[in-house]
């Protein structure tokens, strides 16, 4: 049963990871060429992908819960662990893919320059007091001065983000998909 569990987690985590990586790449590409219209498209895309993420987690967990025999059930702890494990597998794919996209496809310097340009365009179009503008300028200088993150830092950041997201979503979905053991079998069905 353990091998089947990990095979299922790996396959469902890979599906979710590829979907979330595609979303991540799309968001970065749109934001780096940032106009306000593109940023609003990203806002809508983030909401759609979040709903899709929740739906897929629910479907995967529900499907997995039906594999357990009725006498065994699918308790809350197993459901929550399954969801967190899927999120963990997805996060590794997202972290690795994001690192490759940022560092090798775009180039890290170009990526940072794109982020700085995006924020500069936003700040220049928004009237604000000089003191607040100075704080933003210092922040942008700090972003430029940051060293390039390693692959391990990028992956661990993705793991942390997706474990939090998967944990939060998992708390709710695990309560929905759990099944109590039926020690008398399915006599009435």
Cα distance between residue 189 and residue 185, in whole Å: 9
Residue 5: per-residue pLDDT: 84
Q: Residue 24's pLDDT is what?
A: 94
Instruction: Give pLDDT, residue 17.
Output: 96
Classify the phi-psi angles of 73: left when phi > 0, otherwise alpha if psi is within -120 to 50, otherwise beta.
left
Predicted pLDDT of residue 34: 67
> Can you give the pLDDT at residue 184?
66
For the chain of 189 residues, list the mean pLDDT of each consecutive stretch of 10: 85 96 92 77 93 96 80 85 96 96 91 84 76 82 88 95 94 91 59
Do residues 39 and 121 make contact, with C-beta atoms less than 8 angstroms apart?
no
Count, residues in the chain: 189
What is the per-residue pLDDT for 87?
Answer: 96
Q: What is the pLDDT of residue 124?
A: 75
- What local confidence, expressed as pLDDT, does residue 51 receive? 96
pLDDT of residue 116: 84
CA dihedral angle for residue 10, residue 12, residue 13, residue 16, rounded to 10 degrees: 160
* Res 155: pLDDT: 95
């Amino acid at each position: 049963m353990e091998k089947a569990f990990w095979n299922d987690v790996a396959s469902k985590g890979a599906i979710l990871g590829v979907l979330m990586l595609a979303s991540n790449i799309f968001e970065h590409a749109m934001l780096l060429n940032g106009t306000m219209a593109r940023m609003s498209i990203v806002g809508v895309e983030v909401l759609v992908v979040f709903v899709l993420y929740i739906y897929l987690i629910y479907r995967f967990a529900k499907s997995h819960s039906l594999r357990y025999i009725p006498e065994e059930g699918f308790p809350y702890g197993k459901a929550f662990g399954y969801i967190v494990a899927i999120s963990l597998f997805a996060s590794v794919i997202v972290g690795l893919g994001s690192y490759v996209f940022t560092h090798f496809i775009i180039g890290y310097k170009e990526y940072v320059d794109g982020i700085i340009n995006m924020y500069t365009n936003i700040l220049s179009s928004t009237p604000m007091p000089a003191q607040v503008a100075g704080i933003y300028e210092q922040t942008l200088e700090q972003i430029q001065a940051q060293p390039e993150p390693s692959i391990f830092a990028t992956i661990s950041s993705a793991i942390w983000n997706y474990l939090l997201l998967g944990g939060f979503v998992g708390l709710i979905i695990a309560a929905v998909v759990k099944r109590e053991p039926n020690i008398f079998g399915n006599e009435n069905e």
